[in-house]
Every structure is written in structure tokens, then in C-alpha cells.
Amino acid sequence: MSDSAFARMGFAGYTAGSLACVLKDLPVVERPPVSASAAEDFITVEQFSQLSALLYEAALDPQAWKDFLAALRKQLGGNFASLIVRPGNGDDVGLIISAAADRQEFLSGSTNIGLSPLRDLATDRITTLGDLVPENEWRNSRYYLDWCRDLGVFHVLAADVVTKDGCVYGLRVTRPESMPNFGPREREFGTMLLPHIKRALNLHLSMNQDRQVISLYSRAMAQLMVGVIILDQNGQVIESNPAASSILEQQDGLKVSGGMLEATYANDNRKLQRLIKDALLHTRVSRLSMTEGMAISRQSGQLNWGVVVQSMSADEWTEGKQRPSVAVFVRDTSGKADPPVKLAQQLFQLTPAETALAIQLANGLSLEETAELLNIRRNTARAHLRSIFSKTGVRRQTELVRIFLNSVAWLGDK
């Protein structure tokens, strides 16, 4: 028999665990010895590389797990390959991502999974159904008769993977009864692949958490009416948050032209471009950030935009490459705030009528203007104001406006 691709590359003498370490510098988990070089004739280096590429693509995009599972199913000759993201229990049917021989789809899961003998497995190791239950007992089990038999699921190769946050994900590959059971070469291949699956799940976990935190920060900035515009190392706009996009769409003193952030008036634009240029130069010579500010006039005659330009220092991996380099913050000082009324009520223990009055006062209206806007009598407005003073502990209207504007009420979702 001709040498396998793994043997030709000098890997023939490695065990499955040490081979995983050679391929990706992953922690080696001790396993009971399997037949020597069982995985070598099962998969080539090129096939393993393609499978790994799909796996790490799945770490970036959850939808890509279907492609990886489809390739894994095909490699192992199975009829299903599934990732149990969340097992079902009670009213929660859970979430199972599955690739089948004739289709790929997200399966919502099944409460039947609670009857599976493949529960509470020893984690981070390959197991087959035959390791856990005799064939005759499996054939007569409710789980097989009520669920697996109609799906053509008879042989199962399984592993439960624990991520760094303690979550457990179940990997399952199945074959029908008409096919042979999973043997030593499939076990060794699974053992070789398992550390990569664990790392991909941990990468997905970290990136998803980062995305959630960044999204939260972005929403908070937008709620505070702070626009954020990100420029790359050439001064090109690469991203802006919703508040900034709204400001730029107005083209009222600030705009994007040819991918560059510009001020409408020449004097303002010269100063803005100088600040951006200084910030870009600063990122190349210092790890500390540079922060400068200016006011930009608006054609509409409304209050000037307040603009702050801040450098974003590069690290050694991103220097010389396209990357976020400058942040431009824009605040609409004349914009009217509209915090969630319910949240403002909860924070200050106000009635709906009192909250509506406080919001309009915070927006700069006088008590008389607010009464007219809310269609209430002035005496009623004064009564509301006295009640607000009593509940918040303030004595002057200006103090009320200050504590209201500085509260966290503006950070809630409307």
C-alpha cells in the first residue's frame, strides 16, 4: 500500500494527540492508545486543511457551522452531523444545527433528547454509542423507537465539548444500520479534530461577546446623541454610528465627500483636515492618544457642531495596514432629547405627567412653553413642578434640568 499523505510528510510516527499538537499547537489530551496510524489512510492533509478552514470560518460566522458539519458528515460517511448548541428541556426545545445527507437546515431541537443515552458524557473525548449501551438495549429503547429509527439513526459518534465559560456543546455524527459502525480510524480522526472544534467554539464565544459589548457601547453613544466617525490610516471614513450617520445625512456643516470627512466652510475644513492629519501623524510616533476639539459652523444657522478628533494608536500587528486610526466625535448640542418615559419615571419616581413636563424642561423650554405644548394649564404645570422638586430634592428649575440631563435615563431603549 502506498504511503499516505500524512506519512509522506513525516507524521506517521505521531499519535493522534501529538499530531493535533503539531498541526495547531493545541493542548494534548491523553487518550487510550488506538491502532497505529488509523487516521492516516482516512484523510489527506489537503482534506484536513479544507475541513479546518470551514471550522474556523464557523468561528467567525454561526451560519458557517452548517458548511463545516456538511463536510464532516461527508468525510465520516454519515447521514447526519449535528452540533447541539442548547439541549431542550421543559418548554425550551433547544437548538441543534444539523447537516443531513439530502439537506442542510437549522433544527429547532427536540425535547426527546432528554431520553438519549448520550447524556452526561465524559467531556472532550470521542465516544460511540456502543461504548455506552448494548446493541439490543439500544434497539428496544424509547429514544431509538420514537425518534431515531424513523430518521435512520443507528450508529453514533459523539463528543461533548466544554468551552472556557463552562458551556457544553454536543457533536454528533450518525450512520444508518445499513452501514458499518464507527471504527478505530474514525475515532482517531475525531480525536485529532476535537481540539480544533473546541478552539473554534471558544473563538466564537469570545468574538460574540466582543460584538455584543461593542454594540452596547454603540447604542449608548447614539442614545447620548454622540456621533462617532472612524477614519482609516489614509483619512478615509470606514464606519459611523447611527447618530453620526444622521448628522452627516443633513449635510449641514459636515459631510463625506470622496470617502473623506469634510466641513462645508473653507476655514472650518482647513482646521478639521489639520486636526485629522495631526492625529494620523501622532498614531505613527506615539502609543498615547491625541485629542483636539473644534466648533464647526452650520449653514442652517443652528448652534455649531462640537467636534473632537482623537488618534487611535496602532499595535505591531496593524501598523502599515488598513485599520481604524482616527475617531471623530460629533455632538448635536441643539438636538432635543427624548429619553424613555417609563425609565425616567422609575429613576425619579414621577408620574407620567410629571415626567413629560421634566423632559420638556430639560429640552430648554420654559414652564409656560411646556404648559402650552402639553396642553395643560399653567397652574397645573406649576403644581407638577412643585411635586417634581419634592420628589427629586432640588429647589431650582436649572438644577432639575442638570440632574435630569446627567441621569442614565437617556441610555434606555425607547
pLDDT in tens, 158-169: 999 999 988 899
The average pLDDT across 91-110 equals: 64
The pLDDT, as a whole number, for residue 102 is 58
Question: How confident is residue 45, by pLDDT bands cut at 50, 70 and 90?
Answer: confident
d(CA 152, CA 144): 10
Which has the higher per-residue pLDDT, 94 or 264?
264
| 2 secondary structure, DSSP code | P
φ, ψ for residue 209, nearest 5 deg: -65, -40
The average pLDDT across 182-187 equals: 92
The average pLDDT across 275-287 equals: 81
Q: What is the DSSP string of 64-107?
A: GHHHHHHHHHHHHT-SEEEEEEE--BTTB--EEEEEESS-EEEE
State which of 107-116, 360-369, 405-414 shows the largest mean pLDDT. Answer: 360-369
The average pLDDT across 335-352 equals: 78
Q: What is the mean pLDDT of the chain?
A: 81
Is residue 202 over pLDDT 80?
yes
Percentage of the chain exceeding pLDDT 70: 78
* Alpha-helix residue ranges (DSSP H) falling in 111-183: 135-139, 142-143, 149-151
The average pLDDT across 268-279 equals: 94
- Which residues touch 22 (CB under 8 Å, ≥6 apart)? 11, 14
d(CA 178, CA 187): 19
* Full-model pTM: 0.63
The pLDDT, as a whole number, for residue 19 is 37
The pLDDT, as a whole number, for residue 9 is 36
Is residue 108 over pLDDT 70?
no
- Which residues touch 255 (CB under 8 Å, ≥6 apart)? 248, 261, 262, 264
The pLDDT, as a whole number, for residue 33 is 43
The average pLDDT across 64-88 equals: 90
State which of 95-104, 228-237, 393-402 shows the largest mean pLDDT. Answer: 228-237
User: Is the dihedral angle over the CA atoms 190, 194, 200, 201 positive or is it negative?
Assistant: positive
The average pLDDT across 100-123 equals: 66
d(CA 75, CA 5): 16
Cell match 496602532: residue? 314
Is residue 4 over pLDDT 60?
no
Give the three cell numbers for residue 26: 493545541
User: Is the dihedral angle over the CA atoms 78, 167, 191, 132 positive or is it negative?
Assistant: negative
Q: What is the DSSP string of 337-362?
A: P---HHHHHHHHT--HHHHHHHHHHH
d(CA 244, CA 299): 18
The pLDDT, as a whole number, for residue 345 is 85
Residue-range domains of the chain with CATH = 5-208 (3.30.450.80), 224-331 (3.30.450.20), 341-411 (1.10.10.10)
The average pLDDT across 377-383 equals: 94
